[in-house]
Structure 1
Amino acid sequence: MESKIWLITGASKGFGKVWAEAALKRGDKVAATARNTEKLKELVSEYGDAVLPVTLDVDNREDCFSAVEKVVSHFGKLDILINNAGYGHFGYVEEISEAEARQQIETNVFGSLWMIQAVLPIMRDQKAGHILQVSSIGGVMAFPSLSIYHASKWAVEGICESLNQEVAQFGIKTTLIEPAAYATDWATTSASHSKPLEAYSALRNAMLENSKNMSFGNPEATADAILKLADAENPPLRLFLGSLPLMMIEPAYNKRLETWKEWKEVSENAQ
């Protein structure tokens, strides 16, 4: 099998690093991006010229296009984009500031959109390519304290569902990756938080208590799934990662169907 060229944003830690290492271990080549490429030294030291470290802030649209040009100029093509850069913001709706809301959407939504727009001309010309967009179980259902994060992930879900229908004609594939809770630093050092309001302290404390019993997945265990996606002739539009998502999503979706059916007469009379 011919080696693939990957572009992975946010590759210095967490899922991005795990997936970069998985691709490199099997002989593929990876353009690994980070705001600070010093954090990519370990990858470069171990895999040498198979790694192209690229400084990138996905909030900057021009940087996104320049990064893609650099990758294609260096490797000659681009097979796979993994839109992984992003973060989670914690805060109840009433607590979220305008700046916090704008920054969450700027990075998670616009950052992903700019990268997709940057790779599409390349992949169209190649008549091949695969865009893997990191979403979340929070892209298909919602929980208290993560509303603006959910907004960002529901947005990329919509973008990619439309994208999939638009670019299949060019041989470009699209997959939304939907993990549940994993033992990364997503909810700790990589997260941001709104200033808490006392009114929500009871709910906040209850959620903190519940989180103590949460089962976290092993990020390393996701590597094989990503490689299978990359090699699939007909990859799915959506893929859960972990054992929890389907268990959580199925009752949530059944509840939606029940509600729509319960109000079916009201809906139809509105025709």
Structure 2
Amino acid sequence: MPDSRTWFITGASRGLGRAFTEAALAGGERVVAAARDVDPLAELAARYPDDLVRLPLDVSDRAAVFAATERAVAAFGRLDVVVNNAGGLLYGMVEEATEQQIRDHLDVNFFGAVWVAQAVIPHLRAQGSGRLLQITSMGSGGGMASVGFYGAGKAALDSVSEALAMEVEQFGVKVTVVQMGGYTTGLFTAGTTATTPDPAYGALRARLEEMWGDDAGPDPATAAPLVMKLATMPDPPRRLIVGSRSFDMVLEMDEARTEYYRAWESLSRMAPG
């Protein structure tokens, strides 16, 4: 890859995407920053007129993603690091969610990320190099009440991304599933679609709110140095948990899941296969 690399970042106008965009620019890189609303990036564009290109994009529109990718490549002649970050949150119990809410959510969080991957891989493959960072969640390993569809989309993206990593490694393209911990990204405010609450789940909602507390997590900028390092590693991991506290939590969840499997091992072994 050249000394000054080109980044293509989706969901770049706020939260993690904005933090990654700022870090890349500060590091002397070039960035094509895509988002539904790129107006919040105006100040950055004025500060980095030669290194930042703003690109309006709704990742749920497959044709628009492919067209935007061609524009991104044309902007600086190549793509080196693609950060598949665009996403949102559907907050509510499974029973409460409407069909349209579910489809809209997965159109962005899962299908949108797939469209970006499909659009950029031919370019990276032709170059014989490139990094694709698939931004998912430390909670994608299992479902959690009230955020089940968010977890479902991220879990699906985890699985597809690991398959993709195996498929494109032969071409010099590296894919990493980046399992983010909790950061103050605006996901629970500007990025949230909420269901209409059913009173039957009122007590559970109260318990969940008490369990989660008011801690919104650290600033997204604190995760940017790790992502910058990940983008330069010659042999990056295929899956990485981001956040010290999140790392401990994921290990605890995995250990608890193993214990649960062991508790029912005799029943599992009743069937061959």
Q: TM-score range by the shorter chain?
A: over 0.9
CA distance in structure 1 between the partners assigned to 2:211 and 2:268 by the alignment: 37
CA distance in structure 2 between the partners assigned to 1:73 and 1:51 by the alignment: 13
Q: 1:9, 1:84 within 8 Å by CA — same for their partners in 2?
A: yes
Q: Match for residue 194 of structure 1? A: 195
Superposed CA RMSD in Å reads 1.3
Partner AA of 2:93 in structure 1: Y
CA distance in structure 1 between the partners assigned to 2:214 and 2:37 by the alignment: 35
CA distance in structure 2 between the partners assigned to 1:222 and 1:51 by the alignment: 21
1:231-266 CA distances to partner (integer Å, 9 max, x unpaired)? 100111112222221221112111221222333333
Aligned length: 271
Q: 1:84, 1:134 within 8 Å by CA — same for their partners in 2?
A: yes
1:74-116 CA distances to partner (integer Å, 9 max, x unpaired)? 2111001101111011011111111111111111111000000
1:15-48 CA distances to partner (integer Å, 9 max, x unpaired)? 1111011011111000001112222211101111
Q: Match for residue 259 of structure 1? A: 260
Q: 2:184, 2:216 within 8 Å by CA — same for their partners in 1?
A: no
Q: Match for residue 33 of structure 2? A: 32
Runs of 4+ off more than 3 Å: none
Deviation at 1:215, TM superposition (A): 6.1
Q: What is the TM-score normalised by the length of structure 1?
A: 0.96
Q: What is the TM-score normalised by the length of structure 2?
A: 0.95
Percent identity (aligned): 37
- 3-state SS, counterpart of residue 96 of structure 1: coil
Q: 1:141, 1:249 within 8 Å by CA — same for their partners in 2?
A: no
More displaced, 205-214 or 18-27?
205-214
Q: Match for residue 151 of structure 2? A: 150
Which blocks of at least 5 consecutive residues in structure 1 are unaligned? none
CA distance in structure 1 between the partners assigned to 2:101 and 2:216 by the alignment: 29
Deviation at 1:223, TM superposition (A): 1.2
Aligned pairs for 1:102-117 (under 5 A) are 102-117=103-118
Q: Match for residue 17 of structure 1? A: 18
Partner AA of 1:159 in structure 2: V
Which blocks of at least 5 consecutive residues in structure 2 are unaligned? none
Partner AA of 1:65 in structure 2: F
